[in-house]
Structure 1
Amino acid sequence: MNITTTVDGTSARISPCGEIDFDSLPPLRAAVDALPAQVTDLQWDLTHTPFMDVAGLHLLFTPTTGCGPEPRATVTGLRTQPLFLLLMAADVNPALFDLSRLLPDIPPADLRPALP
C-alpha cells in the first residue's frame, strides 16, 4: 500500500492507495501518529481505496494510541464497497458508527431513514 500524507497548517490529508485490511492498518495508524501536533483536521481521501474490511472501521472509528488529542476526521472519495460497509455498520449500530462525524453532508442517525 502506498500512503501519501499532505499537511497544510492545521489540516492534513492521508491518501492510501490500495485495500484497507488488517495488514495495511499498522502503516495507516503510523501515518496518523506521525502527524504534527498542530493538526486538528484530518481528511481521509479514499479515492484510490477500492476495498475496505472491518479494519477500515477500526481505522475510522477507533482512536489511535498516540499522544495528544485526536484530529477531527472526515472522509472523501468513497467508492462503492467502502461506502456500503460504512452504511451497513451505521445501520447495525448508529451510535457507534456515526457517519455524520465522518461525512459532514450526512445528517445524524436520528434524522435519517433506516436502510431498506
Structure 2
Amino acid sequence: MNTITTLNGTTATITVRGDIDFDTLPPLRAATDVLPAHVTGLLWDLNHTLFMDIAGLHLLFAPTPPDRPDRRVTVTGLRPQPLRLLRLAAETNPAAFPLDRLLCGSR
C-alpha cells in the first residue's frame, strides 16, 4: 500500500493504492495527522483500493480531531467491495455510519 497526498488550497486529496486493513490503518492515519491546519476538506481517492475491511470504517468515520473541528471528509472512486462494506455499515447503523455525508459521486 502506498499513498499520494495532494494539496489544493484548503482541500487535501489522499490517493490510496492498495488494500485498507488494520496493517495499513496506522500509516493512513499518519497521513491525515500531518496535514496542515488550514485543510478543511479531506478527500480519500480509493480508485486503486480493491479491498477494505472494518479498518476502513475506522478511518473514514473517525471522529474529527478537536484541533480541526470543521474538516469535512469525503470519498471518491469506491470500488465494488469497499462500497458494499460502506452500504452494509450504513444499513446496520445509519447514525454511526452516515454514508450520505461521505460519498462524493461514488454511488
- Both proteins in one fold, TM over 0.5: yes
For residues 94 and 105 of structure 2, the distance between their equivalents in structure 1, rounded to whole angstroms, comes to: 16
Provide TM-score, normalisation by structure 2.
0.92
3-state SS of 1:19 partner: coil
Identity among equivalent pairs (%): 63
Regions of 4+ moved over 2 Å = none
> What TM-score, normalized by structure 1, do the two folds share?
0.85
Choose between structure 1 and 2 for higher RCO, CA contacts under 8 A separated by at least 6 residues: 2
Measured on the aligned residues, the alpha-carbon RMSD in Å equals 1.6
SS in 2 for 1:83: helix
1:50–1:93 distance in 2 versus 1, CA, 3 Å: same
**SS in structure 1 opposite 2:48?**
coil
Cα displacement (A) at 1:63? 2.5
Question: What residue is the counterpart of 2:95 in the other structure?
Answer: 95
Q: Quote the Cα distance in structure 1 between the aligned partners of 2:67 and 2:28.
A: 17
Paired residue for 1:12?
Answer: 12
Gaps in structure 2 of 5+ consecutive residues: none
More strand by share: 2
In terms of Rg, which structure is larger?
1
